[in-house]
């Protein structure tokens, strides 16, 4: 009769080798996929949930189409972020003095204009240039800092963020707020009511 388990120790060693190999491949794939976009990576989603509740999980308005000649940066923008849908896109020059490759202002809405998010984003040739712009914009912000920290992708720090509100340290949902963040070579600045900015920023994948 043949031995169905001729060498248990060898099988155990082989199994361990397979597990290690699979884990290594999974790690490599995660790193590659995280940095698939040119100059930025998908953000980690382990940040704290917003303190303000979102009224609806899905938008009540449809997302607008991207321009026919949309760049890779614009094509990476999500159609929706929680209850907000992408609306108008305008090429702008708010940060032209800092020499970005491209810059846009995008409106995200849930149908209630009082809760609209105005998002300015721009990309630079290097992360150093983007960092310099982020630092300049960060230093120009006034108000109360509600949150700040690092942007991470695949456990690698790719930038920083800060959320600032007008007035004192106890903002209401409607208090004007700004979220500013850098993800590698791209800088983003979202403005709107505090509850909207919180929900939008924490749900934004870039």
Are residues 21 and 111 part of one domain? Answer: no
Q: What is the mean pLDDT of each run of 10 residues along the chain (206 residues)?
A: 40 40 37 42 50 57 94 97 96 97 98 97 98 98 95 91 90 96 98 97 94
Are residues 109 and 162 part of one domain? Answer: yes
Q: What is the pLDDT of residue 201?
A: 94
Q: Which domain holds residue 151?
A: 72-203
Would 63 be classed as within a structural domain? no
Q: What is the pLDDT of residue 53?
A: 38
Q: What is the pLDDT of residue 171?
A: 92
Q: What is the pLDDT of residue 59?
A: 86
Would 51 be classed as within a structural domain? no
Measured CA to CA, the distance from residue 71 to residue 181 in angstroms comes to 20
The count of structural domains within the chain is 2
Query: Could you tell me which residues come within 8 angstroms of residue 51 by beta carbon, excluding any fewer than 6 positions away?
Result: 198
pTM over 0.85: no
CA distances from 140 to 112, 135, 180 (A): 29, 9, 11
Would 22 be classed as within a structural domain? yes
């Amino acid at each position: 009769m043949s031995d169905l388990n001729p060498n248990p120790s060898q099988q155990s060693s082989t199994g361990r080798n397979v597990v290690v190999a699979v884990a290594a491949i999974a790690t490599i794939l995660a790193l590659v996929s995280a940095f698939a976009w040119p100059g930025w990576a998908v953000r980690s989603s382990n940040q704290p949930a917003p303190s303000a509740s979102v009224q609806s999980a899905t938008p009540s308005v449809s997302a607008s189409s991207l321009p026919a000649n949309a760049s890779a940066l614009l094509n990476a923008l999500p159609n929706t972020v929680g209850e907000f849908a992408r609306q108008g896109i305008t090429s702008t020059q708010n940060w032209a003095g800092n020499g970005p490759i491209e810059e846009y202002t995008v409106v995200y809405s849930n149908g209630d204009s009082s809760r609209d998010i105005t998002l300015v984003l721009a990309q630079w040739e290097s992360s150093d240039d983007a960092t310099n712009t982020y630092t300049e914009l960060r230093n120009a912000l006034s108000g109360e800092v509600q949150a700040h920290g690092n942007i991470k992708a695949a456990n690698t720090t790719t930038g920083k963020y800060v959320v600032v509100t007008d007035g004192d340290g106890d903002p209401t949902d409607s208090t004007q707020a700004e979220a500013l963040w850098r993800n590698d070579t791209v800088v983003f600045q979202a403005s709107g009511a505090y509850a909207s900015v919180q929900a939008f920023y924490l749900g934004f994948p870039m």
